[in-house]
Homo-oligomer: A and B are copies of this chain.
């Protein structure tokens, strides 16, 4: 956060006279051009109409809020210089499941509040595909757009009320989301995103007017929409790179975002290469599908004593467990493997699971929390089907990392830092992810959790003019690796479908921790 804001500028104009009869707008624009060292300052016509009164009310001194719009700048608000209204910015992480908002004081970069809401498009299905199909039905696209904009406007109201400001005080918004969410947000047809050759309507939406999008903030506010690389590599990733500063590093590092899709970027200041799992056939559904969203009562950490096989389950806010989130699932699988309760193929081992094993509708289930301890009064279980799916997902993730690093001639062990972004609220424990062979067996201190890097990247764009200018540079520098057409991918994927890997030598730290399962009683 910077202390002197790039977006708030005070100007003291020379009042007009017979010798200097420059128009109000031209006078202000000339001063702002000088102040901002730019060739272009735009002012909306309706804001122009307010200039004469505002300038004369305060002896031609004014507090201007400005924003970057590609090469130039745009005036997003003007007020008297003494005792002006607050000027706020709003960063939005436009998640498939959850939309998170951060309200920022543009004058000093201070956080004024945070809000989140479930993406109301969930009514049409938890996964993106169902929504994109709904968008093709008559009126469907508008319905989906209106849902997310409506949710956003209600959240803005709540956020502003609790921060003691008006929505009209918000004059800059930045939005980071994946390509599909961004298209629905903008009301753009996603039809060709999901059909070969997978073409978005736009990759660089740029800076738009909030009013044109239906967002109830200042009528002069601008919305920076993070660009995407393609249909499966979105603005949320670009925001994540911006926040991690991967693009400024001297040595190569990896950024892993295990969201609805598994998206990965490798690089440093000279090059960036990225790929996304959803484009490949292996990761359909993704890791996220298995877990629910974070919230009170959601299991986010699991420990199993390898000797007693006693479960120690942690639920958020210590509430009775209601379900299990992504990081909880990875923890669970890792602990099951280390306690010898699943084998190297991820199959439940009857002899080791004991009472925890149940057959429901012919499918083997592991009871994670018994009915008497759960919030629902039902057993909280995890099925063999879900385990199989997790194994495919983790194999895909590892294969993506392996393929990406090998493509640039590096070894996974050469990675100095692995940034782990989590857009779920529950963050993956690298130790567990290593234990199941989802992430490479690097020293734990090389794993750096980023939190909601999409939101933080969006927030960075509201506190730094340099950051805004970096966004398009990052986008243009990324080489996108198409996994669909990579011949080695499927071979590597098959090898990675064991826990932790067919080549256990790659995971020395896991081997030492594991308790061998009993030899009898494997799953059938």
With A18-B482, A40-B70 as contacts: A199 and B49 at CB distance below 8 Å:
no
Is there a chain B Cβ closer than 8 Å to A465's Cβ?
Answer: no
Partner of A204, one of B26, B205, B231: B26
A484 to chain B: which residues have CB within 8 Å? Answer: 18
A199 partner, pick from B23, B40, B191, beta carbons under 8 A? B23
Q: Is A21 touching B199 in the complex (CB atoms < 8 A)?
A: yes
By the criterion CB–CB under 8 Å, are A202 and B21 in contact? Answer: no
Which one of B24, B48, B70, B201 lies within 8 Å of A23 (CB-CB)? Answer: B201
A49 cross-chain contacts in B, Cβ below 8 A:
186-189, 201
Query: Which positions 418-459 of chain A face chain B at CB distance < 8 Å?
Result: none
Q: Number of A residues whose C-beta is below 8 Å from B?
A: 44
| A17 contacts B by Cβ under 8 Å | yes
How many angstroms between the C-alpha atoms of A484 and B18 in the bound complex? 9
Tell me whether A24 and B70 are in contact in the complex, defined as CB-CB below 8 angstroms, given that A49-B188, A485-B18 are known contacts: no
Interchain CB contact under 8 A, B18 and A52: no
| A213 contact set on B, CB distance < 8 A | 45
Bound-state CA distance A189–B25 (Å) is 12
Q: Taking the complex as formed, is A313 at the interface, i.e. its CB lies under 8 A from any CB of chain B?
A: no
A208 interface residue per 8 A CB criterion: yes
- Is A167's beta carbon under 8 Å from chain B? no
A45:B212 contact, CB within 8 angstroms: yes
A25 and B201 form a contact (CB under 8 A): yes
- A327 part of interface (Cβ distance < 8 Å): no
Docked pose: A25 CA to B186 CA in angstroms: 14
Among A93-109, those with CB < 8 Å from B are: none
Copy count, this protein chain: 2
Beyond A40-B71, A48-B188, whether A21 also contacts B201 by CB under 8 A is: no
Q: A16-B197, A24-B192 known; A48 and B231 CB under 8 Å?
A: no
List the B side residues contacting A186 at CB < 8 Å. 45, 48-49
* CB contact between A191 and one of B18, B52, B202 (< 8 Å): that residue: B52
Q: With a CB–CB cut-off of 8 A, which chain B residues contact A187?
A: 45, 49
Q: Are B24 and A199 in contact (CB under 8 A)?
A: yes
A321 close to B (CB within 8 Å): no
Provide the residues of chain B in CB contact with A208, threshold 8 Å.
45
Query: What residues of B have a CB within 8 angstroms of the CB of A70 in the complex?
Result: 40
User: Is the beta-carbon distance between B52 and A203 smaller than 8 angstroms?
Assistant: no
Q: Is A196 an interface residue (CB 8 A)?
A: yes
Cα(A204)–Cα(B175), bound, Å: 32
Determine whether A147 belongs to the interface, using a CB cutoff of 8 Å to chain B: no
Q: Which residue of B lies closest to A198 (CB)?
A: B21
Cβ of A479 under 8 Å from chain B: no
**Contact present for B18 and A201 (CB under 8 Å):** no
Residue of B nearest to A191 (CB): B52
Please tell me if A51 contacts chain B, counting CB pairs below 8 Å: yes
CB distance from A107 to the nearest CB of B (A): 27
Give CA–CA (A189, B186) in the complex, Å: 34
Query: Nearest residue in B to A187 (C-beta to C-beta)?
Result: B49
Known: A187-B49, A191-B52. A23 touches B197 (CB 8 A): no
B197–A22 contact, CB under 8 A? no
> A200 an interface residue at 8 Å Cβ cutoff?
yes
- Measured in the bound complex, the distance between the Cα atoms of B145 and A45 in whole Å is 14
In the complex, A230 has a CB within 8 A of chain B? yes
What would 6 more interface pairs be, CB under 8 Å, given A23-B201, A25-B201?
Answer: A18-B482, A22-B199, A23-B230, A24-B199, A25-B203, A45-B205
A-B pairs with beta carbons under 8 Å apart, 26 shown: A16-B197, A16-B199, A18-B196, A18-B198, A18-B482, A18-B484, A20-B197, A21-B199, A21-B230, A21-B231, A22-B199, A22-B203, A23-B199, A23-B202, A23-B204, A24-B200, A24-B202, A25-B204, A45-B186, A45-B213, A48-B188, A48-B201, A48-B202, A49-B201, A52-B189, A53-B189
